[in-house]
Amino acid sequence: MQRRYRTVSDLKENECARTISFDDPALAGKLTAMGVLPGAMIEMVRSAPFGKTFYIKVDGVRLALRAEEAATILVEL
């Protein structure tokens, strides 16, 4: 079985995935403080027009992420 890793910005609306790790160590501290922890379930609620902002739900908490932040979160389907 092949594992498929993607980023949060690759998720479609209402798609869920489990957080694996972060690409950017500098943003990792900020994201973990916001509750985006490795192993947490992420659901893509919706993306803003022009794809600059993503609205996600992490373990029941809604967050808004910039495209740069969303692209650093690696997820597994």
Paired residues of 22 in beta bridges:
73
Read off the pLDDT band of 11 (50, 70, 90). very high
CATH code, domain carrying 60: 2.30.30.90
CA distances from 16 to 26, 41, 68 (A): 25, 7, 19
User: Which pTM does this prediction carry?
Assistant: 0.89
pLDDT tens track for 46-68: 999 887 899 999 999 999 999 99
One-letter-per-residue 3-state SS of the chain: CCCCEEEHHHCCCCCEEEEEEECCHHHHHHHHHCCCCCCCEEEEEEECHHHCEEEEEECCEEEEEEHHHHCCEEEEC
Q: For the chain, how many structural domains are there in total?
A: 1
Question: Which residues span the domain enclosing 21?
Answer: 5-76
